Amino acid sequence: MKAPVETPRGRQSGRGLRRTQLSDEVAGRLRAEIMSGVLKPGTFIRLDETAAQLGVSITPVREALLTLRGEGMVRLEPHRGYTVVPMSRQDIEDIFWLQSTIARELATSATTRITDAGIDELEELNDALATAVAAADSEAVVAAEFAFHRAFNRVAGRIKLAWFLLHVARSMPALLYAADPGWGADAVGNHRDLIAALRARDAEAVATHTSWQFTDAANRLTAVLERSGMWR
């Protein structure tokens, strides 16, 4: 459960908080569809159609599109509505480069701070990920992967940097990766190598294993977008 949200006028009403959460969920769904090529560049996103498809009112869809417009993922065409903004291969490379750069910094800091108990926790979380991958439970895979990296990044003690990484990672279509059994097996294996490097307090190896995750993810997403005809 999320902590209560404070606003300049005091505590938000339950209705306001639920609407904000719903808007975030809609934005996340549309963001993932744009990033994975389901919604191609130039596609119009109709408020009423999208609301009906997602089973929500028009308001959270409108708010979600405003968020995505601020992120440069859609643009407003006067008198026509919102369209998906083209995304280049360089955009993909830049997104993953930024994530990798931040994640390496966090990983290096975590290597010097993590305790044996913290490493044991990561091992348990990776076992949970392996179980979810074996069960082909995409939602459980997403939750387990998130839990692993949240625990690891928290150890670094660099709260602002971890927040920036989380913000950038919102662009990633997590379910696309989670539905790929090859990615799941590779992720579990990479985590095991990462844990071994942490036990050895080998900061360089930890950073290398951390970077691999983003290089691999970028390559997989680029391949998916090429197959979808994104750049044809």
Q: Which pLDDT score is estimated for 7?
A: 34
pLDDT digits (tens, 9 = 90+) for 49-66: 999 999 999 999 999 999
What is the per-residue burial (b if ≥16 Cβ within 10 Å, else e) of 14-42?
eeeeebeebbeebbbbbbbbbbbbebbee
CATH of the domain at 154: 1.20.120.530
Same structural domain for residues 73 and 148?
A: no
In a domain, 164, yes or no: yes
Domain boundary among 65, 84, 103: 84
Same structural domain for residues 26 and 132?
A: no
Q: Which pLDDT score is estimated for 168?
A: 87
Same structural domain for residues 61 and 152?
A: no
Same structural domain for residues 63 and 127?
A: no
Residue 144 vs residue 28, higher pLDDT: 144
Same structural domain for residues 74 and 96?
A: no
Q: Which pLDDT score is estimated for 16?
A: 47
**pTM over 0.85, yes/no:** no
Same structural domain for residues 121 and 199?
A: yes
pLDDT digits (tens, 9 = 90+) for 151-162: 999 999 999 999
Q: What is the mean pLDDT of residues 38-58?
A: 93
Same structural domain for residues 21 and 123?
A: no
Residue 126 vs residue 28, higher pLDDT: 126
Q: Which pLDDT score is estimated for 19?
A: 54
Concatenated DSSP letters of 117-178: HHHHHHHHHHHHHHHHHHTT-HHHHHHHHHHHHHHHHHHT--HHHHHHHHHHHTTS-HHHHH
Q: Considering the chain, what is the average pLDDT of its residues?
A: 89
Same structural domain for residues 140 and 203?
A: yes
% of residues, the chain, pLDDT over 70: 91
